[in-house]
């Protein structure tokens, strides 16, 4: 006899529909368990997607290094000496540390976090002015509203152009005035605006009150020579940014005669740490959801097993009759296990449908990810398959218990039962 025997299924359905109220109540446990499991997985997926979107356009495996004042006297230098980097340092790092993928230097007008006066037609703003390479945009993508960002051509020709942030635009321009092609003045030098960017929904380091000009233009206009302010470094994705940062610091300390144990001479920021923290957070959340979901499911399936145990007890006589009529223990067992599976699968599928519907409702309500990191809450096909398989296996296992009980009694004893 086959498993897909129509009569076996008829047998199963006729026993399950015999006491329909109990059958429905039995399935509720698994139904809710599946809803909890899928909703938990879906919402944590939504959070993960939300975070992923937040960091989209941000080079997550990147570090930033700048010069600070030294904290220890060393090799005849006093403490409090200002460490300054040049293009030689970039060359040195690129040659010696092969884990580095790219280095984008930046130089800033004024001191670190300094503000420069930018003027246009009598209006002025206190903004940060940066000399940048186009590759700086890889670290945190600018949300360009109009025009373009710096390009290689600007660098090669030291063009006197600039890209400004939204805040600068608001301070210097009238509402809806076209900024592209106009000029702004910084320290007596005029720059033509080629792009305006707005605050984006992703991570932003620079803010909007900034003016970006080509690095080479900066060198010429403000006579900065070989100096650089700080460098944004991307590390090849297979390497750990923290270790690479340590190497970079060691090398730079040696070059700039900083005490090896001086923690202040080189300022740095490891972006990948933030990301791995958030990644770990969402991963733990996902694991935890799965854990809770699976145990709820287990509880639900055990409830099914329990009810089947009771029904088996109630059906002792019926089972005795069936066996007297020639049902082998295997046939009886198969029927009971199939009942467990049908109950579980039915309620499980119903739970899947309800929770997927619930998730798409959440998606339509909050899923655009503008207000908080929550985007496209849904479960993956793999997660569905894994949950479903697990559920099936569990039901098979717990079905075995009542099935064994059903055939444990001798048919003659079962027949005597009233």
Based on CB atoms, which residue is closest to another protein, 18 or 82?
18
DSSP H/E element including 153? helix 152-156
Q: Binder to another protein among 82, 236, 365, 410 (CB under 8 A)?
A: 410
Parallel, antiparallel or unpaired: strands 85-86 and 189-198: unpaired
The length of the chain in residues reads: 418
Kindly state the smallest distance separating residue 283's Cβ from another protein, in Å.
51
> In this structure, are residues 211 and 108 in contact, taking their beta carbons and an 8 Å threshold?
no
- β-pairing, 183-186 with 189-198? antiparallel
d(CA 296, CA 293): 5
Stretch that binds another protein, among 1-9, 168-176, 231-239, 389-397 (CB under 8 A): 1-9
Smallest separation, CB 18 to another protein (Å): 5
Residue 189 contacts another protein per CB under 8 A? no
Q: In angstroms, what is the minimal distance from the CB of 325 to another protein?
A: 4
Burial of 128-164, coded b for 16+ CB within 10 Å and e otherwise, reads bbbbbbbbbbbbbbbeeeebebbeeebbeebbbbbbb
Q: Candidates 29-37, 92-100, 395-403, 405-413 — which segment interacts with another protein by CB under 8 A?
A: 405-413
Report which DSSP code applies to 315. Answer: T
Name the one residue in this structure whose structure tokens are 């890889």. 138
Q: Is the dihedral of CA 127, 128, 133, 136 positive or negative?
A: negative
Q: Output the smallest distance, CB 310 to another protein, in A.
A: 17
CB of 25 to another protein, least distance (A): 19
Identify the residue whose tokens are 């000496």. 81
Looking at residues 15 to 74 of the shown chain, list those that interact with another protein (rule: CB under 8 A): 15, 18
For residue 21, the minimal CB distance to another protein (Å) is: 15
- Closest CB to another protein among residues 357, 412: 412
The interface mask with another protein, positions 312-351, x = CB under 8 A, is -----xx-xxxxxxxxxxxx--------------------
Residue ranges binding another protein (CB under 8 A): 1, 6-7, 14-15, 18, 317-318, 320-331, 407, 410-412, 415
């Amino acid at each position: 006899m086959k498993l897909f025997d129509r009569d076996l299924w008829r047998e199963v359905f006729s026993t399950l529909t015999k006491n329909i109220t109990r059958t429905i109540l039995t399935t509720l446990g698994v139904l809710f368990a599946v809803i909890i499991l899928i909703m938990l997985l879906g919402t944590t997926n939504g959070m993960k997607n939300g975070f992923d979107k937040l960091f989209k356009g941000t080079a997550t495996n990147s570090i930033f290094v700048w010069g600070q004042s030294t904290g220890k006297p060393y090799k005849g230098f006093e403490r409090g000496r200002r460490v300054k980097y040049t293009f030689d340092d970039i060359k040195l790092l690129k040659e010696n540390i092969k884990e580095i993928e790219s280095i984008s230097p930046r130089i800033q007008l004024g001191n670190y976090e300094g503000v420069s006066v930018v003027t246009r037609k009598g209006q002025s703003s206190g903004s940060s002015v940066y000399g940048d390479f186009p590759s700086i945009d890889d670290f945190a993508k600018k949300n360009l509203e109009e025009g373009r960002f710096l390009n290689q051509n600007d660098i090669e020709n030291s063009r006197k152009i600039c890209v400004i942030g939204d805040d600068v635009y608001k301070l210097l321009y009238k509402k809806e005035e076209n900024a592209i092609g106009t000029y702004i003045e910084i320290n007596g030098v005029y720059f033509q605006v080629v792009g305006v960017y707005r605050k984006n929904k992703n991570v932003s380091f620079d803010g909007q009150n900034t003016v970006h000009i080509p690095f080479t233009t900066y060198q010429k206009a403000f006579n900065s020579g070989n100096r650089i302010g700080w460098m944004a470094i991307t590390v090849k994705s297979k390497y750990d940014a923290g270790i690479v940062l340590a190497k970079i610091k060691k090398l730079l300390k040696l070059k700039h005669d900083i005490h090896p144990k001086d923690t202040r001479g080189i300022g740095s920021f490891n972006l990948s740490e933030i990301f791995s923290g958030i990644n770990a957070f969402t991963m733990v959340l996902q694991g935890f959801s799965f854990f809770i979901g699976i145990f709820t499911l287990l509880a639900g399936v055990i409830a099914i097993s329990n009810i089947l145990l009771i029904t088996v007890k109630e059906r002792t006589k019926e089972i005795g009759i069936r066996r007297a009529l020639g049902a082998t223990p295997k046939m009886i067992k198969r029927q009971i296990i199939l009942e467990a599976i049908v109950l579980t699968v039915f309620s499980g599928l119903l739970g899947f449908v309800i929770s997927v519907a619930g998730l798409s409702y959440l998606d339509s309500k909050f899923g655009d990810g503008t207000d908080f990191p929550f985007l496209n809450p849904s479960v993956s096909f793999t997660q569905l398959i894994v949950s479903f398989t697990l559920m099936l296996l569990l039901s098979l296992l717990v079905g075995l218990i009542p099935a064994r009980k059903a055939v444990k009694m001798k048919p003659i004893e079962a027949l005597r039962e009233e």
